[in-house]
Amino acid sequence: MKKYLKNTWDALWTIFIGMKVTWKHLFIPSVTIQYPDEHRPIPDRARNRLYVNIDDCIGCMQCQRACPVDCIDIKTVKALPTDELGLTSKGTKKALWVTQFNIDFAKCMYCQLCVFPCPTECITMTKVFEFSEYEREKLLYNFSNLTLSEVKEKEENYAKFMEKKAAEKAAAAKAKAAAEAKAKQESEKKDNDNKPSSEEKDS
Amino acid sequence: MELYDIIFYLIALTVVVSAAIVVGSKNIVRAAYSLLFTFLGVAGIYILLGADFIGVTQLMVYVGGILILLLFGIMLTNKVYSVDIRRENSYIIPSIVIVGIFAAFLIFVMTETNWVTADPTFPNTTVFELGKTLLVHYSIIFEILAIVLLIALIGAATLARNDNKER
Amino acid sequence: MYDLLTNLLGNQIVAYVIAASLPLIFVLTFVLFAVLAERKVSAHMQDRLGPMRVGWHGIIQTLADMLKLLQKEDIVPEGADRPLFNLAPLLTFLGTYAAFAAIPFAGIYVGSSTAIGIYYITAVSGLVVAGLLLAGWASDNKYSLYGAMRTAAQIVSYEIPTAIAILTMVMVSGTLSLMKISDMQTAHFWNWWILGGPETGIVKFLLIPFMIITFLIYYISSLAEVNRTPFDLPEAESELVSGYHTEYSGMKFAFFFLAEYANMFAVSAIAVTLFLGGFHSPIGYLGHSLGIDWLIPVEQFFWFAFKGTALVFVQMWLRWTLPRVRVDQLMVICWKYLIPYAVVNLIIVGIITLL
Ligand code: SF4
Ligand code: SF4
């Protein structure tokens, strides 16, 4: 009987204590962070979306090789000797047009492995992590600052340059071949000087 | 009063239709729920007649008590789906005869009785008189009934008790 | 009220319909408010913020949720008993709403001026059990059925202490009419039944502790009757998905939700009427002192809603304080504690009132 009464009392009393606790918590300022409006500070070394400072990129493709999931896709075109590409901020001379610098963030796993090998430190991690999209294609970022027509132009230029060079080379080769042939001829001529023939006259 | 007539016929319709479903339904749960509406309708008729206490008691005892118990029993029974309510038509002639006699008897009583028509003014509250009757005039019977119920309860509890020594 | 409306509209039926739907308006607004309040209270008790997006501090979140529920597809499970499945939410809400017919909201408004109000309310709550059982059964889902069984067992068990507590009140007040019980506790808060009611002298002081016990018994068992934590076994999420309304979606689910919250207010309203002075103001009326007659019903309604909502708030408070009890504990609380206390209390109060 005594235990019974004590049980009852304990039940009521502990409920009362519990209610006191919750009552106190009712007035404690909440710990909620209203996410899209408020952000928690992002740690300095957090790995988020990549950014490429294309002005500094020398198109060496180190990052592409380092990426374990092959999500970086770089295409370069060699610059013409007449093109003025400028220097990177570190003073390295640029020799390539970076016509395409795609990073597919749908594939990227934010491992940061591409950041370290870059000789000019132009591919870096930013603090942006909210960039979800409705279409997967939109996650394919192109960092190259050349327009399509420019790319075409560069490619054509290069192609022309190469053609020209090839032509020059061919011409040079021809000239050389001609010269060689001439020299040969001349030496042959020397050999044949003593005994003239009818063929020679024709040629 | 016209309104009361309309309400009466609506309630009566509910009672008759749901009672028919109770008898005719093959699904035992559906039958039980039709019974609910029958009870509700009967309670409604009581209340319409000014017997509010009886009406509410009807609700309390039948809907709140018996029906719930019934449903509980049905739903706790194993394999309710396979329970086929027997609806054989083998005793069709005897049943028609009996029902006919009974109906004739009822109609006879209904037409022949000298119905005492009550005062159209409703008694304001029936509870007071009822309580007095139960607890003053018939208090001994009331108490004996209570004891009978108590004995029934104790008996049920004893029967249901698990007499295992281990526990 | 009926006479007033009949005179105003000139038609009895229209007057009846309007008078009958007045509580519905109140219930709907109350539910809109209470659902939000529950979420806010729970959030702040757990040091969260709760809904914040829709409107200022999420004030119209419930409205948005309701619109969402309205648009949802109405799914009936394949094995379900379709007519019964559709009937269940209606029956549940019917049982809840029927109770509002006898609750006096203000001196001039009570749905039915029946003399047996409180008895009627205890009776119609049986319909809720029938509805919930039906929901569990018709869903053709074992979790629903478990939930329904638990609800039925729980409500039927806890109806006993509730009824005995109500009986105690009926005994001391000598009437079954909620209107009369309210009117006994008029004027000031020391006339509330929980503080001994309109009795005087030694009887009043003897009554107070037992009235408090009665109130506690009523309140605890009413919590179980409306399936609130710590007695929310019928819809225990961690065990039964969500009990009897697992299979319901859209509007039918909304009906269950509505019934649950309306029920919360109904039991609180009964507690208020029985113990806490009903619609009467604890400190006297402004309308009286200013001599403005129409202000009094407004004040009465305000006090009624205020007290009821306060008790609903305590229900929420308890919900976010206590864990759920086990099934055996549930039955122990009812049969071994509440019922003996209620019976002893009834006898003692009976003796005191004879003094
Ligand atoms: S972070 Fe990793 S996965 Fe992403 S681009 Fe760099 S190397 Fe590739
Ligand atoms: S490693 Fe750096 S410089 Fe080289 S291609 Fe990548 S981004 Fe450009």
Q: CATH number of the domain at B62, please.
A: 1.20.120.1200
Residue B120 lies in a domain: no
DSSP C295-313: HHHHHHHHHHHHHHHHHHH
C146 within 8 A of C241, measured Cβ to Cβ: no
Instruction: Name all residues whose Cβ lies below 6 A of ligand 1.
Output: A 50, 66-67, 69, 71-72, 103, 108-114
Strand A72-78 relative to strand A123-125, pairing: unpaired
Which residue is associated with the tokens 């370290």?
A116
Residue C120 lies in a domain: yes
Chain C positions in Cβ-Cβ contact with residue A11 (cut-off 8 Å): 337
Query: Which residue in chain A is spatially nearest to C50 when comparing CA positions?
Result: A32
- With 0-12 / 13-18 / 19 or more C-beta atoms within 10 angstroms meaning exposed / middle / buried, residue B1 is exposed
CB contact under 8 A, B75 and C159: no
Whole-number pLDDT of residue B103: 92
Query: Residue A60, SS3?
Result: coil
Dist. CA C331–CA C336, nearest whole Å: 8
Residue C58 lies in a domain: no
Predicted confidence band of residue B149 (pLDDT cuts 50, 70, 90): very high
Whole-Å CA distances, B161 to B155, B156, B167, C172, C285:
10, 9, 11, 37, 58
- Over residues A22-30, mean pLDDT: 84
Beta bridge partners of A51: A124
B52 within 8 A of C115, measured Cβ to Cβ: yes
Tell me how close the Cα of C297 comes to any Cα of chain B, in angstroms. 25
Residue B160 lies in a domain: no
pLDDT tens per residue, range B3-45: 778 888 889 999 999 988 888 777 777 888 888 889 888 888 8
CB contact under 8 A, B68 and C130: yes
C119 within 8 A of B53, measured Cβ to Cβ: yes
Residue C280 lies in a domain: yes
Q: Ligand 2 pocket, A57 CB below 6 A?
A: yes
Beta bridge partners of A78: A96
Mutate to test the interface with C, among B18, B48, B60, B128 (most CBs of C within 10 A): B60
Mutate to test the interface with C, among B28, B42, B61, B68 (most CBs of C within 10 A): B68
Whole-number pLDDT of residue C34: 86
Numbered residues of chain B with Cβ closer than 8 Å to any chain C Cβ = 3, 27, 29-30, 33, 36, 52-53, 56-57, 59-60, 63-65, 67-68, 71-72, 75-76, 124-127
Residue B135 lies in a domain: no
Atom of ligand 2 nearest to the CA of A62: 1
* pLDDT > 70: percent of chain C: 97
- Over residues A100-121, mean pLDDT: 87
Whole-Å CA distances, C125 to A184, B48, B59, C128:
122, 20, 10, 5
Residue B9 lies in a domain: yes
> Which residue in C44, C337, C341 is closest to A30 by CB distance?
C44
Residue B164 Cα to chain centre, angstroms = 38
Q: Which helix (H) or strand (E) holds C15?
A: helix C12-45
E-assigned strands of chain A?
Answer: 50-52, 72-78, 96-104, 123-125, 140-142
| Ligand 1 atom 7, closest CA | A67
Pocket test for ligand 1, best of A104, A112, A116 (most atoms within 8 A of CB): A112
Residue A196 clears pLDDT 70, i.e. is over it:
no
Residue B127 lies in a domain: no
Return the closest-CA partner of residue C318 out of C224, C238, C237.
C224
What CATH fold (topology level) applies to the domain A50-146?
Alpha-Beta Plaits (3.30.70)
Q: Ligand 2 pocket, A96 CB below 6 A?
A: no
Q: Where are the domains of chain A?
A: 50-146, 151-190
pLDDT tens per residue, range C298-344: 888 888 888 888 888 888 888 888 888 888 888 888 888 888 888 99
E-assigned strands of C84-208?
Answer: 104-106, 109-110
Dist. CA C210–CA C195, nearest whole Å: 10
Give the torsion through C-alpha atoms of B4, B9, B11, B14, to 10 deg: -170
Query: Which residue in chain A is spatially nearest to C313 when comparing CA positions?
Result: A23
Tell me how close the Cα of C130 comes to any Cα of chain A, in angstroms. 32
Q: Ligand 2 pocket, A139 CB below 6 A?
A: no
Domain with C221, as residue range(s), is 75-354
CB contact under 8 A, C176 and B127: yes
Q: Which of the residue ranges B50-59, B117-126, C160-169 would you say has the lowest mean pLDDT?
A: B117-126
Whole-number pLDDT of residue C299: 81
pLDDT tens per residue, range C23-73: 888 888 888 888 888 888 888 888 888 787 877 877 888 888 888 888 888
Predicted confidence band of residue C100 (pLDDT cuts 50, 70, 90): confident
- Over residues B88-108, mean pLDDT: 85
Whole-Å CA distances, A102 to A54, A98, A196, C171, C180:
11, 10, 70, 85, 82
Q: How many domains does chain C have?
A: 1
ipTM for the predicted complex comes to: 0.77
Neighbours of C114 (CB within 10 A): 22
Q: Which of the residue ranges A101-105, A134-138, B163-167, C41-45 would you say has the lowest mean pLDDT?
A: B163-167
Numbered residues of chain A with Cβ closer than 8 Å to any chain C Cβ = 7-8, 11-12, 15, 18-19, 21-23, 25-32, 34
Q: How many domains does chain B have?
A: 1
Whole-Å CA distances, C227 to A91, C304, C317:
75, 23, 15
- Tell me if there are at least 3 CB pairs under 8 Å linking chains B and A: no
Domain with B75, as residue range(s), is 3-112
Query: Which residue in chain C is spatially nearest to A12 when comparing CA positions?
Result: C216
Residue C277 lies in a domain: yes
